[in-house]
């Protein structure tokens, strides 16, 4: 366990805590069913702890688990420290400022995105959120959420821009985006907004942890035609397996079902092989800038 508890974010603490609890359970030779029966818990409670889904973890729950797993005093203390962070700190998206404009499903995704090591995104209608400019996302939100106040729109925009920090953190998120050529052509917010947005994509694509490809119209039918999707991958696949994320105007949700994950991972891999490479895609982006 090498996470610095005092400086770690709650999201990272939840993930590390889940990983360590699962490892302790396996070393103790216990199944999830055996553990929850001993503690009179619901099966879902232990599952949420081991996958880092609980926003707040009670130190008393950690003590109970460590006793069952016969963990040593040092390990128990570290795990209690992780739990304490979840009770005393809040991830940025949990603040009162942002809470009203973030749906429960999207909140769950933000926690996962903050701890993911890689994000694979296919988008057919607009520029992926992690590489949008402020003006572009503002236009999209105004069009999609009629009736919201300027203040609410501002907060939604701030949430989107804050998420982008994942690309520049100490251990940056590896982001692979595949977008339809329609995204380059569709004039969102007018020519000036689009030129700035496309220039931003070209700039971000130069980062070593970012890869952008464009699916041209001439490609014909392809696996992304059924809709946009996101695949998140994590450092420890035993502790937290890859997940699929979807969103619409009403809500956002994730799927952990292995068959779903495998289907979308295969679709993304196929899209990467079918689409032109990053350099040719960059040429398409620069050409679109001139046409706007």
pLDDT tens figures, 181-229: 999 999 999 999 999 999 999 999 999 999 999 999 999 899 999 999 9
How far is Cα 229 from Cα 245, in angstroms, rounded to an integer?
A: 6
User: What is the per-residue pLDDT for 14?
Assistant: 85
Q: What is the DSSP letter of 56?
A: S
Cβ contacts of residue 2 below 8 Å, gap of 6+? none
Q: Give the ranges where 89-149 is alpha helix by DSSP (H).
A: 104-115, 134-144
pLDDT tens figures, 105-155: 787 788 888 888 999 999 999 999 999 999 999 999 888 878 788 898 999
Alpha-carbon distance values, 272 to 67, 176, 234 (Å): 48, 9, 20
In the chain, what are the domains? 10-89 (1.10.260.40), 101-291 (3.30.870)
Radius of gyration from C-alpha coordinates of the chain: 21
User: What is the per-residue pLDDT for 118?
Assistant: 96
H/E element, 246: strand 243-247
Q: What number of other Cβ atoms are within 10 A of residue 201's Cβ?
A: 26
Residue pair 59/80 in contact (Cβ under 8 Å)? The answer is yes
DSSP string, 148-211: --HHHHHHHHHHHHHHGGGGTSSS--EEEEEEEHHHHHS-SS-HHHHHHHHHHHHHHTTSTTEE
* CA dihedral over 19, 65, 7, 87, signed as positive or negative: positive
H/E element, 231: strand 229-233
- pTM for the complete prediction? 0.78
Q: What is the DSSP letter of 217?
A: G
Tokens of 246: 């979807």
Counts for the chain of helices (H) and strands (E), in that order: 12, 6
Q: What is the torsion angle, in degrees rounded to the nearest 10, for the CA atoms of residue 259, residue 265, residue 267 and residue 273?
A: -150
User: What is the per-residue pLDDT for 92?
Assistant: 79
Length of the chain: 292
User: What is the per-residue pLDDT for 235?
Assistant: 79
User: What is the per-residue pLDDT for 126?
Assistant: 93
Residue pair 193/158 in contact (Cβ under 8 Å)? The answer is no
Residue pair 153/143 in contact (Cβ under 8 Å)? The answer is no
Q: Give the pairing of strands 243-247 and 118-123.
A: unpaired
Report angle CA 187, 193, 199 to the nearest 5 degrees. 100
How far is Cα 208 from Cα 288, in angstroms, rounded to an integer?
A: 23
pLDDT tens figures, 31-84: 999 999 999 999 999 998 988 878 789 999 999 999 999 999 999 999 999 898
User: What is the per-residue pLDDT for 5?
Assistant: 55
How far is Cα 268 from Cα 182, in angstroms, rounded to an integer?
A: 18
């Amino acid at each position: 366990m090498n996470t610095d508890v005092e400086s770690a974010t709650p999201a990272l603490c939840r993930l590390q805590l889940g990983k360590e609890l699962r490892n302790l359970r396996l070393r103790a030779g216990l199944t999830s069913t055996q553990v929850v029966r001993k503690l009179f818990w619901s099966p879902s409670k232990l599952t949420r702890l081991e996958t880092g889904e609980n926003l707040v973890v009670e130190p008393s729950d950690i003590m109970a688990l460590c006793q069952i797993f016969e963990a040593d005093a040092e390990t128990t203390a570290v795990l209690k420290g992780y739990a304490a962070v979840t009770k005393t700190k809040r991830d940025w998206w949990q603040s009162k400022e942002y809470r009203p404009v973030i749906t429960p499903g999207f909140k769950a995704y933000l926690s996962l995105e903050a701890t993911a090591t890689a994000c694979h995104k296919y988008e057919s209608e607009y520029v992926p959120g992690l590489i949008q400019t402020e003006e572009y996302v503002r236009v999209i939100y105004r069009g999609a959420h009629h009736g919201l106040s300027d203040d609410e729109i501002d907060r939604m925009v701030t949430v989107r821009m804050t998420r982008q920090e994942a690309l520049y953190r100490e251990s940056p998120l590896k982001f692979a985006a595949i977008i339809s050529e329609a995204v380059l052509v569709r004039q969102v917010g007018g020519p000036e907004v689009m030129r700035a947005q496309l220039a931003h994509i070209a700039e971000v694509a130069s980062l070593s942890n970012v890869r952008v490809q464009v699916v041209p119209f001439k490609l014909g039918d392809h696996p992304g035609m059924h809709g946009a999707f996101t695949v998140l991958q994590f450092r420890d696949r035993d502790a937290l397996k890859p997940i699929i994320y979807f969103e619409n105007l009403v809500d956002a949700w994730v799927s952990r079902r292995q068959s779903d994950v495998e289907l979308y991972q295969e679709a993304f891999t196929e899209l990467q092989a079918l689409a032109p490479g990053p350099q040719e895609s960059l040429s398409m982006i620069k050409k679109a800038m001139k046409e706007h």
